[in-house]
Amino acid sequence: MTESFPGERIAKVIARAGAASRRDAERLIAAGRVAVNGATIDSPARNVTAQDGVAIDGVPLAAPERARLFRFYKPDRCITAARDPEGRPTIYDALPPGLPRLLPVGRLDWNSEGLLLLTNDGGLKRHLELPATAWIRRYRVRGFGMPPDAAAIARLEAGIEIDGVRYGRIETTIDRRQGDNVWLTMSLREGKNREIRRVLERLGLQVNRLIRVAYGAFQLG
């Protein structure tokens, strides 16, 4: 029988208050910078309730902000991360000042652009990312090469396996030709790493622009 404890893990409470990510909160705790009810703690294996007083470096933790969700146009050549070991620009370099601490819902590749949802609530982020949520992600894609024929589009809609990785149904329509390029609209529910680029490469198309235009009910303006 599993024993339950009231409240929430302290790292989660710190993250919800916008003071640090859960991982950074654990580092603060390990460094002895977090106190509960005046006593310094050294382990994140601690639950706290609304009646407990939490402080970081002696400063009381602020009350959690209300959950907020933002639509953001992620630029091309930009990392969906807080920091990059290679020193490349991140989404946080492109965000305007004055926003709360925000977390990305899912990711877009370095060289992909378009709609990225951002939230200040870790629980909302996890809910929107769950496979069970199964929200449709829709993309405009430009690829170099011949457009896929009806048989290739049917293969994508039935699901395709590449190098042992199974990709689910991808609805694909051909929008127009532009010189040696073709524009497609593609809709999928899973969004595995580099999924669109890999499946189109298998069909002989080299993706040179990828724009996410919708994530579930949310669309670009």
80-118 per-position pLDDT tens digit: 998 889 999 999 999 999 898 899 998 999 999 999 999
pLDDT, position 15? 82
Q: What is the DSSP string of 65-131?
A: PPP-EEEEEEPSS-BSSS--TT---BHHHHSPTTPPP-EESS---TT-EEEEEEES-HHHHHHHH-G
Q: What is the mean pLDDT of the chain?
A: 90
Can you tell me the mean pLDDT for 190-205?
A: 91
pLDDT, position 5? 61
109-148 per-position pLDDT tens digit: 999 999 999 998 888 888 888 877 778 999 999 999 999 9
Q: What's the burial of 131, exposed, middle or buried (CB within 10 Å: 0-12/13-18/19+)?
A: exposed
Q: Which residues lie closer than 8 Å to 197 by C-beta, 6 or more apart?
A: 109, 207, 210
CB 116 within 8 A of CB 72: yes
pLDDT, position 205? 95
pLDDT, position 130? 82
159, pLDDT greater than 60:
yes
64, pLDDT greater than 90:
no
Helix (H, G, I), strand (E, B) or coil at 63: coil
pTM value > 0.85: no
pLDDT, position 2? 39
CB 31 within 8 A of CB 73: no
Main-chain phi, psi angles of 103, to 5 degrees: -115, 140
pLDDT, position 4? 52
Distance between CA 92 and CA 69 in Å, rounded? 16
Task: List residues with catalytic annotation.
Answer: 109
